[in-house]
Amino acid sequence: MNLQLNDPSVPGPGEMAHERSGYNASSPQPLSGSPLTADPNHHRAPSLGELHQELEAEQEGHVNRLLQMIRQQQLELQRLQAARPGHSSDHTADDSAIADTAPRPIQGTGVSQVNVPSSQTVGSFSRSPVFPRGSMEMARAEMHRRSRTPSRGASPRLRATSISQESGDWVLGGRDESAFYQAETQMLTRENQMLRHRIRDLEKQLAEMGPSSGTGTEPSIPSHLTQSSSTATGEERADEADTTKDFEVIHAGIYYGRDTLKTQLCIRGRRLLYAFCEKHGVPHRQTGKWIVAQTDGQREQLERLHAHCEEVGVPMRWVPGEEVRTRGEGVRAEKGVLESPTTGIVDVHGLMVALRGLFEENGGVVALNSAVGGVRPLGASVFASVSSDGSVSSSSSSSSGHSGWEIDVQDPAGDSSTITSETIVNAAGLGAVDVHNMIVPSSQHKTLYYAKGNYFSYSSSRPKISRLIYPAPNPGAGGLGTHLTLDMGGRVRFGPDIEWVDSPDDLSVSRARLEQAIQEIKLYLPGVDASCLEPDYAGIRPKLTYKGAGQAGKNFNDFVVRKEDGYEGWINCLGIESPGLTSSLAIGERVQELLYGKRRGEGAGASASEGQP
């Protein structure tokens, strides 16, 4: 079928085509009376799904208008290019680049999806490799994998009356109806947010095309970076660095000393994270956690932990033996159970999408797959770089960075860009120590140690567990033991264990470690089916000391969140391992406080001294 893409009056790819003529996709009419029948004599409050469908149609209309404006800009650009001498020979490559980045279609409710063919007449100017797809496009594959049915068909209260009770139960999978609606709400909220991100991406494309339409040239890579007040660089997808996959634990803040940043930032971060997830519709659940003891020595560890939690103000309770027997769900605890009621789980991908959206809405630029190749303080001769063998070198440390900083960023193709900023927040995770070593003399270099944590999936539905289960802490082990965690669907996984490795790229999960994991799991869950356990994935924890663990002591690994003395405008975030995700929003608060001071009316954050390691 010929879409006649050169005709602005003809709907193009990504626009909504409706069977009824005269229907205005860009300005949907509100339903009067009943949302289902549009009967003015039958009034009913619209359901969540119907409100979402109406909002989705309105947003898709806005997307269509933006696509129409982009197409008109492109037609005008092509007209100007055609009028210039040598157009046919000089601009063929440019036209091909335009076609390669055509706007993607929006799949709406009740409309057919139109695939975008390669075309020399439709698209937007190609972006630099430094800039990834928009936030909505980044999450589109995830949403399509879920194959969501329309809200009207999925919601129990919107099903046709011909659907039987048995059929309804089957669709719900036996879940509580309130849980179904909660999941539906979270899903619709995320889809709505993705549509907003898509609109913003199209608006950016249109803004970029406006000033260039007279010349047909694309702004350079550095201009994109320096136009924004904030830039985040990374080497992977926004949620695929050392933040683990899918679902992660929201920690209570119970394992570390009172005056440590880990305790202070985790407690504050937990409160902020729960509030953020509620406000922005990020899937999460306050599951609670049982910490179990099998020996007298482990019981002593629990008693010390309980006393510590009373001191720092974290809720904990001893679980009576009768409750363990009746509500323990097959958990073994010979010497007692300590419960942490404020522990929970969060959808990491949903959290990253929400945070990235807010960052970009406030003028930030996320440049993924962008490795830091060098750092220079402005106004001095100091230069730091990464050599071909991966070593980091710096020529001097005399500059304070009072004039700002320059960072060389390299994309996968080897092309370099330069970011200039008055302030640098080094929160590079596994690469943060390398970046730190670029600006300091060799005598101040730090070494990072890599503690790999292996996770194991569990395919059986028995025993059915509704909370997280942790063994009693083992001081000096480097971790919290192979524990049981859950995802939002109630599926069980075990891990992480602790394996010291030499490279942050060593992410293979060896079956040889499965047998040891099974032995540890059966100590607190004897009914586990070992045949249903399989190696799943691994993550790397950045440690500033080798085999450091416990609440305090010589080898304790605390967070480093501080200004670097003698390096103005430079904030280091080093050794951000667990509970880094839980602490993340509080770490952001602390960075803001270090840079700009605490704002009046803000809640108390970490109170440790600025220079505390």
Mean pLDDT check: name the lowest of 79-83, 374-378, 447-451, 521-525.
79-83
Please give the full DSSP string across 104-125, using - where no structure is assigned. Answer: PPP--TTS--------SSS--P
Give the model's pLDDT for residue 53.
Answer: 74
pLDDT tens-digit readout, 324-342: 999 999 999 999 999 999 9
Q: How many CB atoms lie within 10 A of CB 244?
A: 22
Amino acid symbol at 539 = G
Inside any domain, residue 488: yes
Distance CA 363, CA 383 (A): 29
Please give the full DSSP string across 194-224, using - where no structure is assigned. Answer: HHHHHHHHHHHHHHHHHHHTTTT-PPPHHHH
Q: What share of the chain has pLDDT > 90, as a percent?
A: 44
pLDDT tens-digit readout, 531-567: 999 999 999 999 998 875 545 556 678 999 999 989 9
Give the model's pLDDT for residue 167.
Answer: 38
Mean pLDDT check: name the lowest of 7-21, 52-66, 423-437, 564-578.
7-21
Decide which of 410 and 205 is more confident: 410
435: Cβ–Cβ under 8 A, 6 or more apart, which residues? 372, 375, 426, 428
Structure token pair of residue 378 = 């402005």
Beta bridge partners of 451: 500, 541
Distance CA 253, CA 341 (A): 12
Inside any domain, residue 48: no
242: Cβ–Cβ under 8 A, 6 or more apart, which residues? 429, 430, 539, 540, 541, 542, 577
Q: Which domain holds residue 302?
A: 289-341+449-543
Residue 172 dihedral angles phi and psi, to the nearest 5°: -75, -15
pLDDT higher than 60, residue 241: no
- CA dihedral in degrees (180, 184, 185, 186; nearest 10)? 100
Give the model's pLDDT for residue 72.
Answer: 77
For residues 505-534, give the mean pLDDT: 94
pLDDT tens-digit readout, 119-164: 343 333 333 344 444 444 444 444 444 434 443 334 444 333 333 3
Q: What is the CATH number of the domain that holds 312?
A: 3.30.9.10
Q: What share of the chain has pLDDT > 70, as a percent?
A: 57
pLDDT higher than 60, residue 14: no
Give the model's pLDDT for residue 141.
Answer: 46
Inside any domain, residue 453: yes
Distance CA 158, CA 37 (A): 12
Average pLDDT over the chain reads 73
pLDDT band with cut points at 50, 70 and 90 for residue 402: confident
Give the model's pLDDT for residue 203.
Answer: 61
Inside any domain, residue 537: yes
pLDDT band with cut points at 50, 70 and 90 for residue 29: very low
Mean pLDDT check: name the lowest of 69-83, 279-293, 583-597, 598-612.
598-612
For residues 507-522, give the mean pLDDT: 93
Give the model's pLDDT for residue 557.
Answer: 83
For residues 443-469, give the mean pLDDT: 94
pLDDT higher than 80, residue 395: no
pLDDT higher than 60, residue 114: no
The three-point CA angle 558-559-565 to 5° equals: 110
Nearest to 255 by CA among 611, 520, 558, 562: 558
pLDDT higher than 60, residue 430: yes
pLDDT higher than 80, residue 352: yes
Give the model's pLDDT for residue 510.
Answer: 85
Q: How many residues does the chain have?
A: 613
For residues 42-61, give the mean pLDDT: 68
Q: How many CB atoms lie within 10 A of CB 194?
A: 23
Which run of H or E residues covers position 414? none
- Per-residue 3-state assignment (H helix, E strand, C coil) for 249-277: EECCCCCCCCCCHHHHHHHHHHHHHHHHH
pLDDT tens-digit readout, 270-304: 999 999 999 999 999 999 999 999 999 999 999 99
Give the model's pLDDT for residue 593.
Answer: 96
What domain count does the chain have?
1
Give the model's pLDDT for residue 582.
Answer: 97
pLDDT higher than 90, residue 102: no
Nearest to 109 by CA among 62, 51, 163, 156: 51
Q: Is the dihedral of CA 431, 433, 434, 440 positive or negative?
A: positive
Distance CA 491, CA 461 (A): 8
Inside any domain, residue 334: yes
- Strands 468-471, 289-293: pairing is parallel
Mean pLDDT check: name the lowest of 83-92, 224-233, 264-273, 369-378.
224-233
**463-492 burial code (b ≥16 CB/10 A, e <16):** eebebbbbbbbbeeebbbbbbbbbbbeeeb
Which run of H or E residues covers position 576? none
Decide which of 371 and 42 is more confident: 371
Give the model's pLDDT for residue 184.
Answer: 62
Q: Residue for token digits 């159970």?
A: 337
pLDDT higher than 80, residue 605: no
Inside any domain, residue 64: no
Give the model's pLDDT for residue 6.
Answer: 44
pLDDT band with cut points at 50, 70 and 90 for residue 406: very high
Decide which of 173 and 152 is more confident: 173
Distance CA 226, CA 81 (A): 29
pLDDT higher than 60, residue 192: yes
Inside any domain, residue 410: no
Through-space distance between the first and last CA atoms of the chain, rounded to whole angstroms: 65
Inside any domain, residue 189: no
Is residue 209 within 8 A of residue 77, CB to CB? The reply is: yes
Give the model's pLDDT for residue 49.
Answer: 66
Classify 525 in phi/psi space as left (phi over 0), alpha (psi -120 to 50) or beta: beta
Which run of H or E residues covers position 290? strand 289-293
